[in-house]
Amino acid sequence: MANSHPDEATPLLENGNGVVVRKPFSTRVADIFKGDGQPSSLVSFKFFFFGSWLNVLLIFVPLAGLAHYLDWDAALRFAFSFVAIMPLASLLGTATDQLSLELGQTLSGLLNASFGNAVEIIVGITALMQGQIRIVQTSLLGSILSNLLLVLGCSFLAGGLRYSESNFQVTAAQASSSLMTLTCITLVIPAAYHSSKSHGGGFGNSTDSAYAHQSAKFLLNSLDTVVDGTDLDGPSESGLRIISRGTAILLLIVYIAYLYFQLKSHAHLYEAAESDEEPEHARMNTVSAGASLFGVTVMTAFCADWLVASIEETAERYSIPKAFIGLILLPIANAAEHVTAVWMALKNKMELTIGICVGSSIQIAAFVVPLLVIVGWITRHDLTLFFADFETIVLFVSVLLVNFLIQDGKSNYMEGLMLVMLYLVIALAFWVS
């Protein structure tokens, strides 16, 4: 007679021998797309389109299309396309987050790594295909600087006004900032190479006085390159291509290693402190989130195309420096991510804030920039890692300041004020360029 009373040897689940049978991978993927236990499509799309007041700005998407195809004034075309990208960037983040909730840690990490900076990728590729190399470079650099200085600064400032001091995981922050420093160095090397070839003709063949003279010319020449842009004419052209393409491949390898470091081998370093908040539940089913992600990506591509097409005429007609448009204005379009970082700081979740700000900068510098260099290589558009000397110096000092401020694992409002101030100084410099 079978024992009807449970004891220590009784299995918790009646499956034969108490062994949990793991479903095959194909079956688990199929279960995800069946949507069992997930919100209906109606509920999903209702949340997607009506879940944020920012979505009111979606009215500018058709307005941007009308302005482009009816050839309205350049300022209207630029403004409508610019505003239209704001809610689309927010919806991209929403669709990515909702899809990530059903995919598990590894797949969701890879998805966020791919679509976390979808707006920058779309705008970059669009500008690259239209031959707007300077817009590609300044918009990418502007995204890095806005995350490192403006968003992180505002987050430190907001958190510091509520809490006298906020703490975060030092090891993870230093690992991220070190990788950011590495990517910064990869931009300094092409600039140094170009300067050496342009003014000295080679390495190691100059006297001390000649070297000092070349160094002075390197700094003075930075003012010229702000106006004229990067110049690939001359003997350094072939070398810059080789350096940039080789470095782009190596950076992508480092980025893949960084993803493994962050998601697998040292994932505990990037986990936020335990909180009493309930875990987030999916508000959209998998099919609806995937379809929304695809549809919004397509719409963003159209708006990016209209935006880039209007930059040249807007800059000339209204005397706005193109470098200022790319470096300062375009990164503002991804405002939703910026608000999230500040909101996390107000909740004293500095690990999440730094993950958004520094992590997003790493994605751009170690993934988006190399990716666009390779795309330009394939499509025969000469995009290199040689940025204007002035821009390279600006990036270097910005990364240096961020490294100094986060190395102690603490933040306060004064550190945030310093970061914001540096960003405003840079914006002023590019406005008068």
Distance CA 195, CA 189 (A): 10
pLDDT at 259: 86
Phi then psi dihedrals of residue 5, to 5 deg: -105, 130
Listed in sequence order, the residues at least 6 apart from 85 whose beta carbon sits closer than 8 Å to its beta carbon are: 119, 123, 300, 303, 304, 307, 333
- Find where tokens 């260099």 sit: 373
Crossing angle between the packed helical segments 350-363 and 389-406, to the nearest 10 degrees: 160
CB 223 within 8 A of CB 427: no
CB 220 within 8 A of CB 198: no
User: Which one, of 134, 138, 224, 235, lies nearest residue 194 by Cα?
Assistant: 235
Query: What Cα–Cα distance (Å) separates residue 287 from each residue in 95, 98, 111, 135, 294?
Result: 11, 11, 15, 35, 11
pLDDT at 107: 67
101: which DSSP letter?
T
Distance CA 387, CA 141 (A): 9
405: which DSSP letter?
H
pLDDT at 211: 45
Burial (0-12, 13-18, 19+ Cβ within 10 Å), 68: buried
Distance CA 135, CA 122 (A): 13
Side chain identity, residue 253: I
- Find where tokens 């689309």 sit: 88
Q: Kindly give the confidence (pLDDT) of every residue in the chain, 433 residues in length, as a single tens digit, with 9 standing for 90 and above.
A: 445 555 555 555 545 455 545 556 555 555 555 555 678 888 888 888 888 888 999 999 999 999 999 989 999 999 999 999 989 988 888 888 888 777 765 666 667 667 778 888 999 999 999 988 989 999 999 999 999 999 999 999 999 988 888 888 788 888 888 889 999 998 889 888 888 877 655 554 444 444 445 544 544 454 444 444 444 555 568 888 999 999 999 999 999 998 888 878 877 776 654 454 556 677 888 888 889 989 999 999 999 999 999 999 999 998 889 889 989 888 887 766 678 788 888 888 888 888 888 888 899 999 999 999 999 999 998 899 998 888 889 999 999 999 988 888 888 999 999 999 999 999 999 998 7
Crossing angle between the packed helical segments 133-145 and 389-406, to the nearest 10 degrees: 20
pLDDT at 119: 86
272: which DSSP letter?
P
pLDDT at 109: 61
Side chain identity, residue 149: L
Query: What Cα–Cα distance (Å) separates residue 106 from each residue in 22, 92, 194, 390?
Result: 18, 19, 40, 39
pLDDT at 307: 92
Encode burial over 277-313: b for 16+ CB neighbours within 10 A, e otherwise.
Answer: eeeeebbbbbbbbbbbbeebbebbbbbbbbbbbbbee
Helix (H) or strand (E) holding 16: none
Distance CA 211, CA 200 (A): 8
Distance CA 157, CA 249 (A): 37
Phi then psi dihedrals of residue 10, to 5 deg: -75, 125
Residues in the chain: 433
pLDDT at 25: 54
pLDDT at 215: 47
